Amino acid sequence: MVSRHEAVAILEDGQNRLDELFERLDNGHLGKPATIGSWAAKDLMGHIAFWEELALQALDRCRGGLPPFPDDLTTEQRNDRNQQEQARLSPSQLRSRFGSSHAALISAIGTLTDAEWHAPADGDTPLGDVLGGVLGAENHPFGHAFHHLDELDAYVNSVVGSSA
């Protein structure tokens, strides 16, 4: 199991790497469609924010003795719903959402005690593992950002060049 401190370090590292890349894009490049798969870069920004918001909701629900999610939607269904809802948002609005959701998540994790982190939250699954799954990528708890870095880096380098 990943400790609270390790989780925060992983999340902060991922956020810093995403921030470095997103900061190299102007709003025009952020909003250009189909540059990261079928998404614009702003869509990826909103996607990361969305999953951090879901983790905050799961944390609140688990603390209240409820299952992490109020429904049985699949990851794909959640992503599709989020993309539809955020399509109308500007790059500036998504930048704000991206920063504020991350700050709220780090703050919320910081309020947890070790006992809460290790306490069963979903059946026998400890809260830390539940959050690691919501915020993770395959074989990388809390590593969702890392799952998307290569595609974002390739796009950024294709439009503004390498910073190295």
Residue pair 56/104 in contact (Cβ under 8 Å)? The answer is: yes
CA separation, residue 105 to residues 73, 135, 144 (Å): 22, 10, 14
For residues 6-20, one letter each, b for 16 or more C-beta atoms within 10 angstroms of the residue's C-beta and e for the rest, the string is ebbebbeebbebbee
pLDDT of residue 163: 65
pLDDT of residue 164: 55
The one-digit pLDDT tens for each residue of the chain (164 residues) are: 899 999 999 999 999 999 999 999 999 999 999 999 999 999 999 999 999 999 999 999 999 999 999 999 999 999 999 999 999 999 999 999 999 999 999 999 999 999 999 999 988 999 999 999 999 999 999 999 999 999 999 999 999 877 65
The DSSP symbol for 164 reads -
pLDDT of residue 158: 95
In the chain, the domains with their CATH numbers are 4-160 (1.20.120.450)
What is the spatial distance between Cα 73 and Cα 91, in angstroms, rounded to a whole number?
A: 27
Q: Residue 127 belongs to what H/E stretch?
A: helix 127-134
Does this model's pTM top 0.85? Answer: yes
